[in-house]
Structure 1
Amino acid sequence: MKPVFKPALAIQAGERLRGKVAVVTGIGSGIGRACAMLFAAQGARVVGCDIDADSAGRTVDAVRANGFEMDSLQPCDLTDPEGAAKLVEFACARHGGFDVVVNAAAFGAFAWLQEMDYQTQWRATLTGELDIVFLLCKAAWPVLIARGGGSVINFASANASVALDGSPAVAHCAGKGGVLAMTRQLAMEGGLHGIRVNSISPALVETAATRAHMAAQPEFLERALAKAMVKRTGQPEDIAWCALYLASDESSWVTAANFPIDGGATAW
């Protein structure tokens, strides 16, 4: 099977998030960057963050160069409760609150069970994929309640539902499976406050990190595409368009849902 790639999708200007403030994490690259740029283009006032100050700065510059509005706090370590609290304080200081939280930032280590180190790989992955969502949701919750509700968008993974043959992803599967379950619980807890919580589960998305992995292990790409019905890798913008729907009022009756944006990879 010949791998099929698709150029990045064009970011389109519009009004679907006009009047909303959106906190987007992990804006330096990948899905977080695509969400920040699309949300800003669709009228949101975006507050971003990333642990990598340089990459976050490049995203902010790109958004502003297109005439859209964005602030960012960087470097920001969201695996630290103080980092999550500072991001919430920063957003409130800029805009008096926020309506949307996009938990795109994540870190995961990939190794086979027998080769995985407990502290530097297993624990670090659960912190970087599960704790990072919990900490920002906890810090943001009072603001969303005071705002009268809002939308929280988490990122699980196709690996939360299926195991890909040949992929050493035991910690990643555990972390993203936890995000999937936590999303349902948070949706229940948030319902009385008008807070909607949903998750998106991408399959293989082409980013700087995954491109390096695919180049080093082309057989991994072959296996991933063999599972997909749409025979190409995903683009960050493919995921951002779903996040845009969940952030907008178009999804006002949608909560506790998981959206498998995966080219059909988990459908069989």
Structure 2
Amino acid sequence: MYLEKLKLDGRVAVVTGGGQGIGAACARALGEAGATVVIAELHPERAEASAAELVELGLQAEAMPLDVTRSAAVDRAAAEIVARHGRVDVLVNNAGVAKSDVRAEDTSDEHWRFHMNVNLDGLFWCCRAFGRQMLKQGSGSIVNIGSMSGFIVNKPQPQAFYNASKAAAHHLTKSLAAEWGAKGVRVNAVAPTYIETPLTAFGMNECPEMYETWLEMTPMGRVGQPDEIASVVHFLASDAASLVTGAVVIADGGYTCW
């Protein structure tokens, strides 16, 4: 009974930014659970490579180029996927950017908008476009990738722009969950700690003092791995989380305990 709830056989899942890191891990997790996965990615070569890896494993996957900051392009992508597959059951909004270590007083308009365009605006365009499809069919699960930075202020790197974008993503998650809950569409988020991906490479490889602080601030004393976040996403996407909506699940190795 319980293991059955984790299966996604016959469902269609879309993962934005699924070409690497957390997104690629989410795509594999959903694919292994039985879903047909569409990897929507800004960089076509990453999307194709990620999809090819899943296909080699015997999973159902395909690539689609997508710039989430272009709302019209997101609308077209949603319509195209539904036309091809008949439905969309799961959306993982993973596409995100983090160019940290910029003080608030030195943050340019362009730097601020860059993060808001992807981390907040793009996330909403995807929720809106794919949410419309889910509302029509009366079911669906959206999982947004937020951040522990939406709850706390990171140290030592200054990144007010990123923190603000993720806090907004968390509240948007709750707002959509409240609006769509009675219509069969669940909306949740995962708030990871530092995960070993290309986005955190600058701190882990180039700034040893920064990395040391990250570990010191984390009770578990380590960064996370993409598959550890993908496992939470899989749960939230599945029927095992049928009563869960509006939740922001913190997967941070205990970071926000202190």
Scaled to the shorter chain, the TM-score interval is over 0.9
Q: 2 CA distance for matches of 1:91 and 1:169?
A: 35
Paired with 2:32 and 2:184, the residues of 1 have a C-alpha distance of 25
What SS is found at the alignment partner of 2:171? helix
Please give the root-mean-square deviation of Cα atoms over the aligned residues, in Å.
1.3
Tell me how far apart the structure 2 counterparts of residues 32 and 91 of structure 1 sit (CA, whole Å): 18
**3-state SS, counterpart of residue 176 of structure 2:** helix
Q: How do 1:140-179 residues align onto structure 2 when only pairs under 5 Å count?
A: 140-179=130-169
Matched residues in 2 for 1:236 and 1:73: separation? 21
Instruction: Note if 1:211 corresponds to 2:201.
Output: yes
Contact 1:37 1:63 in 2 (8 A): yes
| Mapped partners of 1:131, 1:159: distance in 2 | 18
Pair 1:17 & 2:4 matched? no
Q: CA deviation at 1:208?
A: 1.8
State the one-letter code of the partner of 2:174. R
Which residue does the alignment assign to 2:254? 264
Residues of 2 paired with 1:48 and 1:61: CA distance?
10
**Offset at 1:86?**
2.1
Shift of residue 219 of structure 1? 1.3
Structure 1 unaligned blocks of 5 or more? 1-13
Which residue of 64, 73, 93 maps to 1:73?
64
Structure 1 pair 256/15, CA: closer, same or farther in 2 (3 Å)?
closer
Distance 1:142 1:204 in 2: 32
Alignment coverage as a number of residue pairs = 253
- Choose which of 95, 114, 117 in structure 2 pairs with 1:127: 117
1:224 equivalent in structure 2: 214
Q: Identity of aligned pairs, percent? A: 33
How big is the shift at 1:167? 1.4
Maintained 8 Å contact 1:108/1:171: no
Match of 2:26 among 9, 29, 35: 35
1:3 maps to none
Secondary structure in structure 1 of the residue aligned to 2:143: strand
- How far the C-alpha of 1:16 sits from its partner, in A, is 1.6
For each residue in 1:196-248, what CA deviation from the matched residue of structure 2 results, as whole angstroms up to 9, or x when unmatched? 11110001000023123321111111111112121211011100000000010
5+ residue gaps, structure 2, are none
Q: Distance in 2 between matches of 1:204 and 1:86?
A: 33
Name the CA distance, whole Å, in 2 between partners of 1:65 and 1:165.
41
TM-score, normalisation: structure 1: 0.91
Q: 1:45 aligns with which of 36, 48, 51?
A: 36
TM-score (norm 2): 0.95
Give distance in 2, aligned partners of 1:88 and 1:196: 18
How far, CA to CA, are the matches of 1:212 and 1:113 in structure 2? 19
* Structure 2 letter corresponding to 1:82: A
CA distance in 2, matches of 1:142, 1:198: 16
8 Å contact from structure 2 (residues 6, 240) kept in 1: no
Aligned partner letter, 2:11: K
Q: 1:112 aligns with which of 89, 103, 107?
A: 103
